[in-house]
Structure 1
Amino acid sequence: MKQLSQIYLLLLLVTMLNGCSTIGYYSQAVSGHLSLMMAGEPVEKILTNNETPLELRGKLSLTQQARHFAAQRLALPVGDAFSDYVELNRPWVVVNLVAVPEFSLEPHRWCYPVLGCQAYRGYFNLEDARTEEAQFQDNGFDTFIGGVTAYSTLGWFDDPLHTGFTRLAADRMVALMFHELAHRVVYIADDTAFNESFATAVELEGLRLWLSEQGNPGQFRQALDRLTRRNQTLTLVEDFSARLQTLYAEQDSLPDDQLRNRKTAIFEDLALAYQELSADWPEPGPFGPAPVSLNNANVALFRQYNQHVPAFRQMLRNADYDFASFYKAVETLSEQPEPQRSEHLAALSQRFEEHL
């Protein structure tokens, strides 16, 4: 009954919004998530079905152990999340559209009830995303559409497991569960960096403890290596973003053709630098396998994630890995104005040292 009541509330929100395009967007969002939930089958039923493939049975059994661990050791509000499973016929659950003006790194922001404003818009149907993408491209925007493995409804619904999870390696599947469950704890409208960095910190520290309990603490090194590669990419992106911002500051004094040529050259240099950086990596980096094609949109999206991860990991360390106390501290911090939040997080980041 709880989920049906929430669906009716979302449908009511849709009818209250003005504009055909707005109504159309929210309708697809509600119907897409409703279809996902209705397609779910209880994990316990699948586990007791003798026709369930052995590999899937093993993965789903592991998810239920991880749910229990998340609730008991990580104090996450699991509820009935991840107790159903959906077989998807695509490699992503939704796709996100990002759109950024031609000479800017500030993405267009869509605003939603409850969630606030975000620099991306999610679609359950790829063609719907491409239709809106074309409208932005006609207005000169750089755009990017990326597949999303999983998303959180922030505790409004009992989010199901699906093939986006079970296609991952076991450790990455469990880490993704911890990440999405963390979004149920705290969420600040209009602060993607805070929200995602917090969830990533819970994911990392939760995975470290999980692997230790599973008798495989050394595997955590792989997760840290992935984080290191992401941070190296972020440093590279920040360097080139500074060059782009210097260029874009001249748009009132330089002709558009000159701006475009210099912009193209900077992005070509960034793509080459990323190719050199990732040449010896054991797996593709954050932008995928080189060579890559980059623009304002995928760079702007990438810059929003992970910047405060060391700060939140330091906060958890300060709480002596008492997750409930850590969440209270994060909630208190979330109530501060953005400048104070960022200043506090920056100071915490300076103190953090990786586990030895």
Structure 2
Amino acid sequence: MPPSFLPRLALLCLMVLALPGCASQGSTLGYYWQSVRGHLQIMQAADPIDQWITRTDTTPALRERLHLAQRARAFAVAELGLPDNASYRRYADLKRPAAVWNVVAAPPYALTLHTWCFPVTGCIGYRGYFAEADARAEAAQLAQQGLEVEVYGVPAYSTLGYMNWAGGDPLLSTFIAWPEGEFVRLLFHELAHQVVYAPGDTLFNESFATAVERLGSAQWLATQSTPQARQAFAESSARRNAFRALTRATREKLAAIYKQKQAPAHDSKALTAMKTEAMQSFRSDYAALRAGWLEAPSDRPTAMNAAQLAGYDRWVAHANNASFAAQAAYDELVPAFEALFAREGHQWPRFYDAVRQLAKQPETQRHQSLRALSPPKEPPGA
């Protein structure tokens, strides 16, 4: 290894151990090594998109999608003000269903994520592994400590632009075949992490990136897409919004239950009973929601099939405090960021500048500033 490469490898070691949407920090050399090795393998598997397009063994479907990726990448720069750099200009076939597997954990009577801390990114409520078996081994250890745990696959992650010197974050086979609207929104989400990142504030960072993906994908679909793609995305968005509304209501119900933990009249047995009832209600409500999705609406000739709902089904089957708490990071402050975008005249540069100013504030202050922008919640039954 050339000596000049050593400082850059040291930077890689720091970054890959706490990738947003991926890995946090570990305290063992084994975790360090799997992080560096896993990321290097992804980087080494990536080739420029133009090379993939001209390869004779590239399928027509992949070739078409890579052309779409190039158009979406150019759109991200020209219309959304996202970074014009090396990221997402290469492609890697990972030959596995996820880029990494995240582990999240929470106490049995709280919606507060267990965290791991590291320089650069701060303390983060998830820890990522490039091998699913390693993630499940970590989850088992946390469960032995009395925590509720969840392991889930992550299709992509961001290195915050720190790896652009080495070719940037590549497009991956784990999400390249997603429907057009879903594909571009993930691309915009990951690029947003390179614009603004507040160390240690997962709620701020993920809510910001989710707001960018929503606003950006709406702009893309309105100006660059086909009616068929717009319809497909509208249907998937309606399902996603309905599911998020259900999980948000359940989170609020669980939070209210856990607030009673210190009350003398509520021992752990009583709290467990209330929690069990809330979870049973959640799963019952999901079953009703799911049944509606499987029915063919009047404006669409065919209903969904069960295979298309597998991701929702898995989430609900394993739902616990850890999964509810992790999801909250992607939802809670999104309306505030969308309100900020409107306040800044729907101008991307002004919006990013305003978010950068928020990122400079102490965490509590920035959250308060954003919540002051959030539209009021509609009363139940409105």
Residue 214 of structure 1 corresponds to 224
Aligned CA distance change for structure 1 residues 224 and 319 (closer, same or farther; 3 Å)? farther
Taking the aligned partners of 2:327 and 2:52, their CA distance within structure 1 comes to 37
Q: Is the 8 A contact 2:100 2:153 kept in 1?
A: yes
Q: Is the 8 A contact 1:77 1:181 kept in 2?
A: yes
SS in 1 for 2:159: coil
Q: Is the 8 A contact 2:76 2:188 kept in 1?
A: yes
Residue 71 of structure 1 corresponds to 77
Taking the aligned partners of 2:315 and 2:190, their CA distance within structure 1 comes to 29
Residue 93 of structure 1 corresponds to 99
Residue 121 of structure 1 corresponds to 127
Q: Is the 8 A contact 2:16 2:159 kept in 1?
A: no
Cα distance, 1:131 vs. partner?
A: 1.4
Task: Supply the AA of the counterpart residue of 2:153.
Answer: G
Matched, 1:49 2:55: yes
Matched, 1:249 2:288: no
Task: Supply the AA of the counterpart residue of 1:163.
Answer: S
Residue 160 of structure 1 corresponds to 170
Q: Is the 8 A contact 1:14 1:23 kept in 2?
A: no
Cα distance, 1:142 vs. partner?
A: 0.8
Task: Supply the AA of the counterpart residue of 1:153.
Answer: T
More off after superposition, 165-174 vs 217-226: 217-226
Matched, 1:189 2:199: yes
Cα distance, 1:306 vs. partner?
A: 1.4
Q: Is the 8 A contact 2:207 2:332 kept in 1?
A: yes
Taking the aligned partners of 1:290 and 1:279, their CA distance within structure 2 comes to 16
Q: Deviations over 1:278-329 (max 9, x none)?
A: 4323564984368624222112212222111122122222223321121111
Q: Is the 8 A contact 2:45 2:94 kept in 1?
A: no
Q: Deviations over 1:213-255 (max 9, x none)?
A: 22547546346424522441243223322343135335x7765
Residue 341 of structure 1 corresponds to 366
Taking the aligned partners of 1:215 and 1:136, their CA distance within structure 2 comes to 45
Q: Is the 8 A contact 2:16 2:39 kept in 1?
A: no
- One of 1, 6, 9 as aligned partner of 1:7: 9
- One of 337, 361, 371 as aligned partner of 1:312: 337
Residue 203 of structure 1 corresponds to 213
SS in 2 for 1:146: strand
Cα distance, 1:178 vs. partner?
A: 0.5
Aligned CA distance change for structure 1 residues 222 and 147 (closer, same or farther; 3 Å)? same
Task: Supply the AA of the counterpart residue of 2:10.
Answer: Y
- Give ranges in structure 1 of 5+ residues lacking alignment: none
Task: Supply the AA of the counterpart residue of 2:357.
Answer: T
TM-score with structure 1 setting the length: 0.87
Taking the aligned partners of 1:140 and 1:72, their CA distance within structure 2 comes to 49
Q: Is the 8 A contact 1:3 1:156 kept in 2?
A: no
- One of 314, 318, 321 as aligned partner of 1:296: 321
Aligned CA distance change for structure 1 residues 308 and 262 (closer, same or farther; 3 Å)? closer
Residue 253 of structure 2 corresponds to 240
- One of 38, 43, 48 as aligned partner of 1:32: 38
SS in 2 for 1:280: helix
Aligned CA distance change for structure 1 residues 348 and 226 (closer, same or farther; 3 Å)? farther
Taking the aligned partners of 2:186 and 2:26, their CA distance within structure 1 comes to 35
Task: Supply the AA of the counterpart residue of 1:312.
Answer: F
Matched, 1:272 2:297: no
Residue 297 of structure 2 corresponds to none
Q: Is the 8 A contact 2:246 2:282 kept in 1?
A: no
SS in 2 for 1:279: helix
Count the aligned residue pairs: 349
Task: Supply the AA of the counterpart residue of 1:106.
Answer: T
Cα distance, 1:13 vs. partner?
A: 8.9
- Give ranges in structure 2 of 5+ residues lacking alignment: 18-24, 294-303
Taking the aligned partners of 1:12 and 1:309, their CA distance within structure 2 comes to 29
Q: Is the 8 A contact 2:247 2:324 kept in 1?
A: no
Aligned CA distance change for structure 1 residues 249 and 72 (closer, same or farther; 3 Å)? same
Aligned CA distance change for structure 1 residues 249 and 279 (closer, same or farther; 3 Å)? farther
Taking the aligned partners of 2:337 and 2:236, their CA distance within structure 1 comes to 17
Taking the aligned partners of 2:373 and 2:310, their CA distance within structure 1 comes to 27
Q: Is the 8 A contact 1:314 1:352 kept in 2?
A: no
TM-score with structure 2 setting the length: 0.82
